[in-house]
Structure 1
Amino acid sequence: MTQLRSILAIQPGQAASDGAGVRLTRVIGGPGLERFDPFLMLDEFGSDNPDDYIAGFPPHPHRGFETITYMIEGRMRHEDHMGNVGLLQSGGVQWMTAARGVIHSEMPEQEEGVMRGFQLWLNLPARDKLGDPGYRDFAPAEIPRLTTSSGIGVVAIAGRFDDGQEQLEGAVQRPHTEPYLLDLHLPAEASLSPCLPEGHRVMLYVYEGELEVNGEPVGQSRLVRLSDQGELQLASGGAAKVLLIAGKPLGEPIVQYGPFVMNSREEIEQALRDFRDDRLTA
């Protein structure tokens, strides 16, 4: 008999504001981060009202983790202290490793129209938190994609898609957290059983339509958190789009203060001193 992953929680995101006043939905973030280890935050942003996004995210610091920004629609420009400049366009991805310190900005390159996408924060293991920072832009054409024989669209940002018949390696692999970030587009009356490693934390965020997850109906704008053992079965009545997020837990203490995520209060205090003394990126 097939063992299915248990649904631990189904939860809505919360309205929030960040940067210089960008309106967004905070799907993951706040107390209880150990439940989502190795993930720290997931924000969804989406609006056709420029007042909701035009102020953007002026220069700000990060330390101790990685950020993955996936743009569905719109244009955003990244600049950082390392001299990197990148234009994130519809269908593109920005993967930034803050490590010991990055100061960057993310500003809209549009004054009207829809801006829509996601930002996911991925923790770094303790041994890498003070390592070298890095940055990579992926143009839409650089993100592996396929359409399965049953008509399901797959965008493989990280990890690996495998449904037992077709496989696709994602654009990014990470050795310690082994993250999966897949954007799955299910047509009406479709079903899918993606293969995922035992022991991985698994989450699904339904961002369009409705979905059945292991037989349980899940509405739009809902996050599903699943157990770390068993199979995953997805089915759609109407068309649906869902982010599949999975990763290997680090099992380390998580101490967060705003844009700094370390393993102890002392390390957070050091990050604050380094930022104050202009040594965060030294």
Structure 2
Amino acid sequence: IFLQQIHTRPATVPTSNNESRTSPSDESSRVEHHLSNKQSTNRPTTHSKPSSNTSKPPMASAFSRSKPSTQRSQMTISNSSSSLSSSTIPHKRLIGAASPAKSKPPPSSSSPQPTSTTITTEIQPITNTSEEEIVPVNQEVMSTIESITNDTNDDKVNLIKSEQEQKYIDEQEYQRKLNQKIREAQQRLEIERQREEERQRQLELEEYEREQEQIRLVEEQRRVEQERLQRAIEERVRENELKRQEELRIQQQREELERKQAEETERLNRERQERARKEEEERIERKRRLDLIMR
């Protein structure tokens, strides 16, 4: 139905727009082409009868055709809300099919050309009939175009919404993955920090143990040195004591020797004195005896 309505527009609109600029023969050929198109699309046709009731069937047909277009627009809206791809592709096909129909020039009629008298007698009622049919057909085409435009706009809105929703979902997924990577990086940093702290504590413990070992060695060396010094001091004291005792012994021995020597000297002196006294007494006795003898 949409293709039929879109195909009928090039046959009707150019007739009304170019009616004042074409010759009677061109106008008659276009009118006949309009009639042939209407017959080929199986739509209710109105023959060129010079009566005033010829506009009623096109109005009825226009109303009857507007119902399927309304139903189709509702179906299209429901289909576009349910599936974006299924509603976009038919509209592209309809629009793609409609655009060549609009740009396609009306084909030349294959029917034989009527005579000039027949054209003159028939042109006025046919023109009136065409003008009366243009209004409902144009209204129907406009309503169809509006429904297509509305469907297209709905499809565009739904497409934009779906793109925005997909973008929002992608952003949420990206943010979730980014947060997960940040958490994993923070966990790795925390684990690395704990390992670094553990290594630092281990190094500090090893350093403390080395310091304690160094202190122990220093204290041991100091103790050994003190013991050695103490032993040396004791040895020196002992040696000094021995030396003092030896000196004292020697002193005693010397004193004893001196005492003995003094006693011996005194004894010798005493003996010498005693001997000298005795000798003196003997000399005196001899002298007295000699004196006595001499007397």
TM-score under structure 1 normalisation? 0.19
Q: Relative contact order: is structure 1 or structure 2 higher (C-alpha 8 Å, sep ≥ 6)?
A: 2
Which one has a bigger Cα radius of gyration? 2
Where is the helix percentage greater, Structure 1 or Structure 2? 2
Where is the strand percentage greater, Structure 1 or Structure 2? 1
TM-score under structure 2 normalisation? 0.18
